């Protein structure tokens, strides 16, 4: 074990010792100090310091997609360490894995990326017997099209892709965010030029354009894609940027008035604006034409070294309280029925985060596309970026 890791683990032990009364946890820690460093289960009491260096769960997750408290509670429960690397987009996740990133025990991809990973043989199958808390998941989010038997995936959280906006500014300008027209039609864009951003994501931006044109977000007709491209290129001069993350802050401080983005990001922007007592409100809504629902799932990567820890983590996150902590932190939608009792009521009541039955009929999960379609989409995307 590296010296730095040893000191870090000992530091945690000492810190916990002084913060907690002499209960069973302290006794465990004292035992740990007497024998070296702990393993994850009772039978590991005799592991050596060298063996403990392997009690690390390596997580590759979206930015800011789990509470630090949750991580620390899992580490405490399992007597292990969690390390995380991050990505901001499914394309980034797939690109990094394709470039050779390995050693991750758990990934949290969205549905269309799940499709790709399964077809690439990049995932290991789950042992459902180790996941008794799977019973907490709403059956509507199991047996998805990308994994009909849930052999590889367990639902983690979901988001909707929608429009966030400065409520007071749009009211002042006489504009509405009820339609994707607010990001595509010049007659509206003229009033908010330079104050609007869209996602820097091929699939998401094309999906918004396709929905506005009356097509499915999963439409792959080349003529329809060309129409969507023309719509995007016409609107592009009015946009300030393609952005996947900075729009959260820019909306919260009032520099942006409209943003195309994810419901959990908009929730953060709204919260930040409220906390800093801005003289405006950040609001967000699902456009009438419909939008994308992205279900993120926990999966095992084939290069992971600790499937045992990965299963324990998944089952831990399926507990209602732990799962609710994710939603209360990020504003994500939550497929875990046991979590609802712990989710803040104002989040649970927000239909842009938890869509009602009617809204669900207008939402679509993105499907994977084949190699030829991916090449065509990349060519279209290059044309969009260069114009």
The tokens for 201 are 């994501």
Domain map (residue ranges) of the chain: 56-157+295-353, 159-292+369-386
Average pLDDT on 47-63 reads: 71
The tokens for 353 are 């985060």
Report pLDDT digits (tens) over 233-264. 999 999 999 998 899 999 999 999 999 999 99
H or E stretch at 96: helix 90-98
The band of 38, judged by pLDDT with boundaries at 50, 70 and 90, is very low
Distance separating the N- and C-terminal Cα atoms of the chain:
53
pLDDT score recorded for residue 34: 34
Beta strand extents in 188-328 (DSSP E only) = 196-198, 241-242, 258-262, 282-285, 291-301
Average pLDDT on 81-104 reads: 91
Q: Which residues pair with 165 in a beta bridge?
A: 258, 283
The tokens for 339 are 């979590």
CATH fold of the domain at 56-157+295-353: D-Maltodextrin-Binding Protein; domain 2 (3.40.190)
Question: What values do phi and psi take at 185, rounded to 5?
Answer: -95, 120
| CATH number for the domain formed by residue range(s) 159-292+369-386 | 3.40.190.10
Q: Does this chain's domain 56-157+295-353 share its CATH topology with 159-292+369-386?
A: yes
Average pLDDT on 342-367 reads: 94
Vertex 328, ends 326 and 329: CA angle to 5°?
65
């Amino acid at each position: 074990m590296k010296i730095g890791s040893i000191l870090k683990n000992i530091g945690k032990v000492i810190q916990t010792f002084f913060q907690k009364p002499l209960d069973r946890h302290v006794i465990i820690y004292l035992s740990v100090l007497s024998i070296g460093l702990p393993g994850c289960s009772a039978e590991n009491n005799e592991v050596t310091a060298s063996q403990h260096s392997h009690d690390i769960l390596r997580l590759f997750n979206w930015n800011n997609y789990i509470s630090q408290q949750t991580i620390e509670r899992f580490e405490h429960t399992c007597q292990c360490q969690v390390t995380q690397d991050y990505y901001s987009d499914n394309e980034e996740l797939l690109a990094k894995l394709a470039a050779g990133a390995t050693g991750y025990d758990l990934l949290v991809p969205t549905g269309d990326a799940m499709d790709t990973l399964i077809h690439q043989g990049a995932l290991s199958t789950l042992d459902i017997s180790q996941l008794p808390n799977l019973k907490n998941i709403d059956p509507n989010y199991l047996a998805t099209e990308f994994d009909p038997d849930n052999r590889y995936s367990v639902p983690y959280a979901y988001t909707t892709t929608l429009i966030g906006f400065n409520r007071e500014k749009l009211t002042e300008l006489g504009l509405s965010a009820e339609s994707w027209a607010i990001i595509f039609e010049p007659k509206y864009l003229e009033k908010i030029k330079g104050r609007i951003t869209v996602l820097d994501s091929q699939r998401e931006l094309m999906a918004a354009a396709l929905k506005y044109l009356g097509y499915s977000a999963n439409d792959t007709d080349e003529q329809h894609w060309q129409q969507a491209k023309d719509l995007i290129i016409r609107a592009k001069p009015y946009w300030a940027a393609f952005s996947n993350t900075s729009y959260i802050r820019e909306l919260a401080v009032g520099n942006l008035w409209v943003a195309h983005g994810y419901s959990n990001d908009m929730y953060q922007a709204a919260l930040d604006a409220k906390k800093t007592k801005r003289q405006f409100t950040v609001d967000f809504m699902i456009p009438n034409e419909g939008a994308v629902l992205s279900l993120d799932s926990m999966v095992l990567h084939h290069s992971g070294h600790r499937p045992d820890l990965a299963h324990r983590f998944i089952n831990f996150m399926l507990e209602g309280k732990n799962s609710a902590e994710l939603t209360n932190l990020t504003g994500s939608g939550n497929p875990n029925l046991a979590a609802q009792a712990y989710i803040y009521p104002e989040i649970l009541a927000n239909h842009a985060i938890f869509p009602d039955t009617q809204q669900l009929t207008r939402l679509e999960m993105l499907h994977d596309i084949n190699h030829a379609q991916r090449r065509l989409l990349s060519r279209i995307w290059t044309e969009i970026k260069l114009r």
